[in-house]
Amino acid sequence: MRRTIGVVGTGSYLPGTSVGNAELGAAVGVTDEWITRKTGIRSRRRAAQHEATSDLAAEAARSALAQSGITPDQLSYVVMATSTPDHPQPATAGIVQHLIGATNAAAFDVNSVCSGFVFALSVASGLLHDNPDGYAMVIGADTYSRILDYSDHRTAILFGDGAGAVVLGPVAESHGLLANRLTTRGDQHGLIGVPAGGSRLPASATTVAEGSHHFKMDGRGVRRFVEDSLAAEVDALLTSASVRREDIRHFVPHQANGVLLTDIWPSLGLTNATCHLTLEHYGNTGAASIPITMDQIHRDGLLTENDLLLLCGFGGGMSVGSSLLVWTATAYAHPPLAMAAAHKES
């Protein structure tokens, strides 16, 4: 019998070091006011020197496990969305599986860049539908500070480091994940990327000298892609699920750029929904941005039983992933310790 799968726990981790616009702006040659006006971002977190993506992900996963009451040995899958893995191989998910003690879980990575969490959520929920006893840990985690070109003020100002996670498991009928929609426009793959370090352009002294291991983005092209794609993707998802726009209560988008999100928000027609933004304090955390935001609004008590959530991610590839879920109330008596500690640094 196919089970109804939903979110039974959330968690997140933000590194303790906060980098404000004044500090970053001085380094890249722009002002605090310019960054805020262009992006809506005021600060972002930066991983400590000893922290890799797997470390951030493991902290978020532990937080989600603690909140859900699920033990690591109950996990059947650890699915990790990241475009900044610890190494080209092995999969970072395997490292996280070891760090959290999920000894019974198969672990693998998904790389759809900033839309990766929604892609991973869709894959994990599909695996669980026919698994009578399984739970899945779905994580989005990125450490973009390690691949940024700090001479490029257009990209260096946008990104922060962090991780978010959800535990998926059985929920009551009429709750949980209702529908997913995943699309990719491979003809637009050149808009976002890290050119070197793969089989196309292996690492060499030349690629390092040319800065080809840094993140590159055509900002105007990305904006056009989002403006042209997002409303149509939302419409297609809602139509397929027979859900009315006015029934959506929470919109949780990828936290790409506050100005972009504010500009496209009216076109979505979600008149009864709240658009949740956390980028002011955390910046664009890549695949982590949606689960970090979900955990924050959960922790803040903004989600109630039967609320309908729409998650939308968009990123390199170019890809768009969107999910609809009906919330199942879960107890959240106190914030995760990792998140609470990070907030003290703000």
| Catalytic annotation, residues | 114, 254, 284
CB 181 within 8 A of CB 322: yes
Which element (helix H / strand E) includes 118? Answer: helix 116-129
Angle between helices 219-241 and 258-268 (to 10 degrees): 30
Neighbouring C-alpha atoms within 13 Å toward the C-beta of 101: 7
Task: Locate 146 and state its tokens.
Answer: 């390690």
- Bond prior to 80 in cis (omega within 30° of 0): no
Instruction: Please state whether 323 falls in left (phi above 0), alpha (psi between -120 and 50) or beta.
Output: beta
CB 58 within 8 A of CB 97: no
Task: Locate 274 and state its tokens.
Answer: 């709240």
How many distinct helices (H) and strands (E) make up the chain?
Answer: 12, 14
